Amino acid sequence: MAESDYQEMLAQHQAHMREIEQEVLRSASTRIQEFKAYAGTRGVQLSDAAFNYSPPLGVTASAPGVLRSLLDVQPNRRDGLYSWTELAGVLCPGRSEGCLESPDFIAMAHPSFRRQMHPQANWAPRFIDLFWSLKSPGLDKSVALDEDRVRVDLDGMGYGEFDTWYGPPFNDDIASIALGNMKLRPPSDLSQVRVGMFFASAYCVDIKWAQSGDIKTFQALELKDESVLISIQGIPHHPARYLHAEFDLTKGVFGHFDGAIQYLASAEYFARRDSDFNMTYKDTRHVKPMSKKVFKLNGAITTKDWVELSSHFFAANPLMFEYFNGEYPKHIADIVEKLRALPEERR
């Protein structure tokens, strides 16, 4: 397909989606007015421009910090996460994945859980669904929410995409895992386009195991290639998913597990991506990169749950599967083999 044909087709699709959005917003006008009145009682004044529609999100109202004004519970001041126990006191798990419902609005999980961490995309396969349903005695669960948007079409349908990312098996003998750093990278003979298609645009996954006394610590950082950017206050940053967990060797379970998104400035990103966890950012910027914690678990976390959540947090990235399983998923291995049979310029 010629580039001009593709651009024309894309423009037609975008125009069609705008027409659908306007039609849905017109149909939802009564509900929008009801929500504007409700928000006004909570000190939030919304104009018609604050309301949008997209198939993955439904009809939403956007305003800085709108969720905090509507909720009767607030996030932890230190890490910005909402206690699941406190949320359960005022909201109910939604019929749609990643949602918590009240009689007046629907709260949604933080946008970093969406595909490519894009705020308008659907949820990345399975992590948020697994986290929502995770239960065990004494488990303390916290999560980041989308504080700048809430869904207002209470009877709107959920939006599904027919794919998933399956977690691999793993040797659960954590005590026997060697300490130190490991770096996993996509095949170097594949083009950036192919890596984007089949490795979720991953540049690398760095992993480190360390130990202090009876606590063995796990860290993992997923860096995307330089084309993946998120704008923060108008400045492009490179988002990197980060995991941290602590395994109690005496109890045989993880006692702590959390995840965050690091936002690296350009100099930080290029200094870090070919290094490992022994590097400090003080070498280049004298500060740590910006970071947003997005979930936290404290209590008895089984190795099985830790592996599954870790795999799905790095959604659609075969490198984490490779770490846990020693090889790529079969369909990825087959694709790589077929691509390597092509002339170099077509890989």
pLDDT reported for residue 39: 96
What's the whole-model pTM score? Answer: 0.83
List the beta strands (DSSP E) in 102-234: 106-108, 140-143, 149-151, 180-184, 202-212, 215-224, 230-232
Q: Within 13 Å, how many C-alpha atoms sit on residue 191's CB side?
A: 10
Place of tokens 């077929």: 338
* Number of C-beta neighbours around residue 8 at 10 A: 11
36: phi then psi, degrees, rounded to nearest 5: -60, -40
CA separation for the pair 199, 195 (Å, rounded): 5
**Residue 220 · residue 320 · CB < 8 Å:** yes
Task: Report pLDDT for 159.
Answer: 52
Report the SS3 class of residue 340.
helix
Q: What are phi and psi of 106, to 5 degrees?
A: -125, 120
Helix, strand, coil proportions of the chain in percent (round to 5)?
35, 30, 40
**Residue 83 neighbours by CB distance under 10 Å:** 17
Residues listed for the chain: 347
In 116-167, the DSSP E strands lie at 140-143, 149-151
Q: Where are the domains of the chain?
A: 13-151, 174-346
Predicted pLDDT at 21: 83
State residue 243's pLDDT score: 97
Q: Kindly write down the DSSP assignment for every residue of 222-239, as one continuous string.
A: EEEPTT--EEETTEEEEE
What tokens appear for 25 in the block?
Answer: 């917003």
Burial annotation 56-78 (CB, 10 A radius, 16+ → b, else e): bbbbbbebeebbeebbeeebeee
CA dihedral (280, 285, 287, 293) positive or negative: negative
| CA–CA dist 204, 180 (Å, integer) | 16
Mean pLDDT by 10 residues, the chain (347 residues): 62 75 90 96 95 91 96 94 96 86 95 88 86 91 97 72 47 82 88 86 92 95 93 92 96 96 92 82 55 96 92 88 82 82 74
